[in-house]
């Protein structure tokens, strides 16, 4: 059986967990804290990041969430998360949505760890720059969701990679930055996300905080 190295808050890993659930692929969930010295990520991923999908041989590792999602869609096309029935430009748009969602997460991870530094070592301009990217990304997503006019799914009125990426990012955003006002700033995006969270594969993969044992910045 496959193993997925994951972390309880990870938006990147949640994309993969949702995809595996939607495709009905059984797997063992190996939950780790990738920032702690105890993590096994470096045994499988030279970039020392999770998620990592480890195949049946216990050695072959697929890593980098957007690549894992592409690999899964290629190897296990049914049920499709980029259905061929959706025209190619919309399937490419779904990947662009994933780029924006991953980019928001990347910026917020940098902002989160900037805040872990001793106050005198924190760079406010750097943290502000990351939050500006997150806000810009959120605005793009909000515009796309507004254009979908209340649909349950962003593209083709069916679940796609785009919905999985947005839902995974917003779930983590809300966990890690609970005071951010995105839900009042973007009510349609909030309503769309709440709808996604009722889906079984989302409800079963809700993020939760983790405690970092080692100091890393
Ligand atoms: N681009 C990567 C980012 C993955 C990533 O940053 N994972 C974090 C954990 S989490 O933020 O998703 O919870 C990690 O392993 N960080 C460890 C490290 O960066 O050394 C992906 O999409 O898979």
User: What is the DSSP secondary structure assignment for residue 3, as one 8-state letter?
Assistant: E
* pLDDT for position 200: 98
CB-based contact 51:68 (threshold 8 Å): yes
Sign of the alpha-carbon dihedral angle for 37, 40, 41, 44: positive
- Ligand 1 neighbour 70 (Cβ under 6 A): no
* pLDDT for position 214: 87
* pLDDT for position 206: 98
Closest by alpha carbon to 27, among 49, 6, 50, 48? Answer: 6
Number of Cβ within 10 Å of residue 99's Cβ equals 12
Question: How far, in Å, from the CA of 49 to the mean position of ligand 1?
Answer: 5
Question: How far, in Å, from the CA of 41 to the mean position of ligand 1?
Answer: 10
Return the half-sphere exposure (C-beta side, CA atoms, 13 A cut-off) of residue 132: 6
* pLDDT for position 149: 92
Closest C-alpha to ligand 1, atom 5? 49
CB-based contact 29:21 (threshold 8 Å): no
Distance CA 110, CA 97 (A): 20
* pLDDT for position 118: 95
Pocket test for ligand 1, best of 15, 32, 34, 213 (most atoms within 8 A of CB): 34
* pLDDT for position 215: 84
* pLDDT for position 59: 97
User: What does the pLDDT profile of the chain (217 residues) look like in tens digits?
Assistant: 999 999 999 999 999 999 999 999 999 999 999 999 999 999 999 999 999 999 999 999 999 999 999 999 999 999 999 999 999 999 999 999 999 999 999 999 999 999 999 999 999 999 999 999 999 999 999 999 999 999 999 999 999 999 999 999 999 999 999 999 999 999 999 999 999 999 999 999 999 999 889 888 8
Question: How far, in Å, from the CA of 147 to the mean position of ligand 1?
Answer: 31
- Ligand 1 neighbour 64 (Cβ under 6 A): yes
Closest by alpha carbon to 52, among 4, 10, 111? Answer: 4
The CA-based dihedral angle spanning residues 153, 210, 5, 204, taken in that order and rounded to the nearest 10 degrees: -40
Question: How far, in Å, from the CA of 128 to the mean position of ligand 1?
Answer: 21
């Amino acid at each position: 059986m496959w193993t997925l190295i994951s972390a309880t808050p990870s938006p990147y890993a949640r994309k993969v967990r949702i995809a595996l659930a939607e495709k009905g692929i059984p797997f063992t969930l190996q939950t780790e804290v990738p920032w702690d010295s105890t993590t096994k990520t470096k045994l499988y991923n030279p970039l020392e990041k999770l998620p990592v999908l480890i195949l049946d041989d216990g050695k072959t590792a697929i890593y980098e969430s957007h690549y894992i999602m592409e690999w899964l869609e290629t190897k296990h096309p049914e049920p499709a998360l980029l259905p061929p029935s959706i025209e190619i430009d919309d399937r490419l748009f779904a990947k662009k949505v994933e780029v924006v969602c991953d980019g928001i997460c990347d910026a917020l991870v940098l902002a989160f760890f900037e805040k872990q530094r001793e106050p005198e070592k924190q760079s406010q301009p750097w943290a502000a720059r990351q939050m500006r990217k997150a806000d810009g990304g959120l605005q793009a997503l909000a515009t796309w969701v507004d254009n979908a006019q209340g649909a349950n799914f962003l593209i083709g009125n069916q679940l796609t990679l785009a919905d999985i990426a947005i839902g995974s990012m917003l779930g983590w955003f809300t966990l890690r930055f609970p005071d951010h006002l995105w839900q009042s700033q973007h009510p349609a995006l909030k309503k769309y996300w709440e709808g996604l969270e009722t889906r079984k594969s989302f409800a079963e993969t809700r993020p939760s905080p983790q405690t970092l044992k080692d100091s890393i910045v």
